[in-house]
Chain A
Amino acid sequence: MSDHAVRRIRLVISHVALYLVAAAFLTPLVYMLATSLKPADEVFQSPPSLFGSLVRWENYSETFEFLPFGKFVLNGLAVAICGTIVVLVASAMSAYAFSRLRWRGRDGFFLVFLATLMIPQEVLVVPMFMLMKWFGWVDSFQALIFPWAFTAFGTFMLRQFFLTVPEEISEGARIDGAGSVRIFTSIMLPLIRPALAVLAVFTFINYWNSFMWPLIIINTVDEKATVPLGLSLFVGQQGTQWNLIMAASVISMAPTAAILILLQKHLIRGIATSGLGGR
């Protein structure tokens, strides 16, 4: 056989093996999807099968009756959207101040910002809980939105992008009489729209997926739980109904999975260039 043919065969084998690995990798998610459509008594059938005796779409509607799961979804969306807005506004504003405005102490303050990146959120949960107690925010939506919205990461990332905007553009507008607010809203922000989008998506995902903090701060779970917290309750229920739990899991994954698939190009570029979302 020619060298060329050997290489072609190798490439084909490489492809097949890689696709098999990917299929194996997806097994847990396929298993989840399959179980979510089975009748309860067929979940642990032996041997395990992909399909039950029937496809039971009712599992999905029953999920919303079993627990107030609809409320959890709405809570989760509201918290994630509000949190994302707070993060974007605060980060974009301070990133602008730290990159394009001249003021005394700028670099010193920026160093303090950077230093706080070193502190893992998890180290702060206990004092944060105390703070929430003093604010009277325990068991509230504010407590889900604000405490983790002011990490330095967004500021740091957007500042990098503001710095790539040529100085002449903003200075030109200034000479034409535009104020800082005007320059910020109508020149700088539109120019870094891709960066804002990437930050927004990762922030939304982080809020939506967050588990430990809601577990700590939310007491009236039936009223205020977000999706991961609500989902963890299913598991604790007596006589665990795995088909319903899997349906709820599918629902919990749907928004972030959809975002990933729709915006894959931007997200992947965002990670490659800035190391975003490192969880």
Chain B
Amino acid sequence: MSDDAIARPAAVAGRRRPRLRRDGRAAAFFAAPSMIGLTVFTLFPIVLSLVMAFFQWPAVGERTFTGLENFTTLFTDPVFRRALLNTLLFVVLYLPLNLIVSVGLAVWMGPRIKGRKALRVVFFLPVVTPMVANAIVWRMIYQPNGLIDGSLYAATGTHAPNFLGEPGWAMFAVVAMSVWQGFGYNMLVFSAALDAIPRHLLEAAQIDGAGPWRQFFRIMLPMISPALFFASTMTLITSFQVFTQPFLMTGGGPGMDTETLMMFVFDKGFSIYQYGLASAGAWILFVLILGVTAVQFVGQRRWVTYDV
């Protein structure tokens, strides 16, 4: 803004220059809190975590540059590899289930359903309540003598599996709880998208003899495909970071069956204080998310319709 200080003929300056100068100063004032905050609390940590990933960085003692050693250590660590696979398994199970349930219910709760507004609030409730409380309730539901086991035993005399303690069950139990907790958000997004479909489109299809399935696949699904793209991308990103549900319900067990990448990072960083290793793990997680998101963005051209 240095040129603003140069004196100009009044006729020229009178109209534009003083306004620009005032905006510059005002902008510095208005943007400062966010800019400073973002620099200190986001940009700097990003750089720092990249640096840390290439160091052996213990909580106390010497920090040494080790190049790619953290990454090679991770990829040869069976626990890390297991956590990576578990996270992928969680995403592969969670994402489609979440989308199917949320699209299904959004379609079901069409304009002819009475009380749909109240139902939306009901399905959205666990999204806004603390994840910790949700996870604890489900732990009680799943455990031996809990709601499922207790009801089954009272009804049939046989016990349910120990959902959180038996290999083969734990991950599915975590996924089921997560779908229950999370789909309400996407359901709202899809409900809004469905409500925005012009009524005459569906009516015309009905008059032409299209059944409900045909209407769904030929009209509704293409019409909500931008919302589907948005929701699936957001859900994908957050599901890769799954932490609280397994942390509180299974502690990563039984064995390592539900140990996720984020739990691994947490453990390396804040239980054994290997900050370098934890940062490298976090970057692998981030690159994974970035890669999958990029694939989503490239793939969208094939299935997302932005206008009709």
Q: Take A15-B114, A260-B128 as given contacts and tell me if A271 and B26 are in contact as well, using a CB distance cutoff of 8 Å.
A: no
A6 to B178 alpha-carbon distance, docked (Å): 38
For residue B198, CB closer than 8 A to chain A, the reply is no
Residue B169 CB within 8 A of the other chain? no
Nearest residue, chain A, Cβ from B112: A11
Interface segment, one of B6-14, B115-123, B215-223, B299-307: B115-123
Looking at the complex, which one of B31, B145, B230, B237 makes contact with A98 (CB distance below 8 Å)?
A: B31
Q: A32-B137, A264-B121 are in contact. Are A18 and B48 (CB under 8 A)?
A: no
CB-nearest residue of chain B to A110: B31
**Please, how many angstroms separate the alpha-carbon atoms of A59 and B106 in the complex?**
38
- A90 and B33: CB pair below 8 A? yes
Query: Is A181 a contact partner of B26 (Cβ separation < 8 A)?
Result: yes
Task: Please list 11 pairs of residues, one from A and one from B, whose beta carbons are closer than 8 Å in the complex, sorted by A's number.
Answer: A28-B137, A93-B33, A102-B27, A112-B38, A120-B238, A122-B262, A125-B269, A129-B270, A148-B41, A231-B136, A249-B136
Q: Mark B88-129, 1 if CB is under 8 A from A, else 0.
A: 000000000000000001001100111101011111111111
C-alpha gap A246/B136 in the complex (Å) = 8
Contact of A252 with B130 in the complex, beta carbons under 8 Å: yes
Which A residues touch B256, using CB under 8 A? Answer: none
In contact, B131 and A93 (Cβ under 8 angstroms)? no
For chain B, residues 185 to 202, give those with C-beta under 8 angstroms from any C-beta of chain A. Answer: 185, 188-189, 191-192
* B75 at interface, CB cutoff 8 A: no
Report the bound CA distance from A119 to B47 in whole Å.
Answer: 12
Indicate which residue in B108, B133, B237 contacts A14 across the interface (CB closer than 8 Å). Answer: B108
Interface residues as binary, A121-133 with B (CB distance below 8 Å gives 1, 0 otherwise): 0111111111100
Query: Do B23 and A102 touch across chains, with their CB atoms under 8 A apart?
Result: yes
Contact, CB under 8 Å: A124 / B137: no
Interface string of B42-75 (1 = CB under 8 A from A): 1111101100100000000000000000000000
Top 7 closest pairs, chain A to chain B, by CB: A150-B37, A47-B154, A272-B192, A94-B34, A180-B26, A97-B30, A103-B27
Q: Are B131 and A231 in contact (CB under 8 A)?
A: no
Task: Select from chain A the residue with minimum beta-carbon distance to B48.
Answer: A127
Q: Size range of the interface on A?
A: 35 or more
Q: Is the CB of A155 within 8 A of B34?
A: yes
Q: Which B residues are closer than 8 A to A by beta carbons?
A: 1, 19-20, 22-24, 26-35, 37-38, 40-46, 48-49, 52, 105, 108-109, 112-115, 117, 119-134, 136-141, 145-147, 150-151, 153-155, 180, 182, 185, 188-189, 191-192, 230, 234-235, 237-238, 240-241, 243-244, 248, 262, 265-266, 269-270, 275, 278-279, 282-283, 285-286, 289-290, 293
From A94, A129, A151, A228, give the contact of B30 (CB < 8 A): A94
Quick check: A18 and B113 within 8 Å, CB to CB?
yes
Q: Please tell me if A109 contacts chain B, counting CB pairs below 8 Å.
A: yes
Chain B residues with CB under 8 A of A128: 41, 45
Among B30, B38, B113, contact of A180 (Cβ-Cβ < 8 Å): B30
A63 surroundings in chain B (CB, below 8 A): none
Residue in A181, A211, A278 whose Cβ sees the most chain B Cβ within 10 Å: A278
Of the listed residues A47, A149, A231, A279, the one surrounded by the most CB atoms of chain B closer than 10 A to its CB is A279
Complex-state Cα separation, A185 to B129, whole angstroms: 33
Please encode chain A, from 2 to 27, with 1 for each CB lying within 8 Å of some chain B CB and 0 for all others: 00000000010011001101100111
Check A279–B238 contact: CB distance below 8 A.
yes
Q: Is A69 an interface residue (CB 8 A)?
A: no
A123 and B31 contact, CB distance less than 8 A: no
Closest B residue, CB atoms, query A17:
B108
Distance between Cα atoms of A115 and B141 in the complex (Å): 41
B279 x A127 contact (CB < 8 A):
yes
Are the C-beta atoms of A126 and B278 separated by less than 8 Å?
yes
- Cβ A122 vs Cβ B243 within 8 A: yes
Output the residue of B20, B129, B262 with the most chain A CB within 10 A.
B129
CB distance from A76 to the nearest CB of B (A): 9
Give the residue name and chain of the B residue nearest to A184 (CB). Answer: B30
Once bound together, how far apart are the Cα atoms of A131 and B293, in whole Å?
29
Per-position binary interface string of chain A over residues 67-104, scored 1 when its CB falls under 8 Å from any chain B CB and 0 otherwise:
00000000000000000000001110110111001111
Which of A149, A216, A228 interacts with B270 by CB under 8 Å? A216
Contacts of B237 in A (CB 8 A): 120
Question: In whole angstroms, what is the CA distance A103 to B117 when docked?
Answer: 45
Known contacts A31-B137, A116-B43, A151-B42; is A211 also within 8 Å of B147 by CB? no
Q: Does A29 contact B (CB under 8 A)?
A: yes
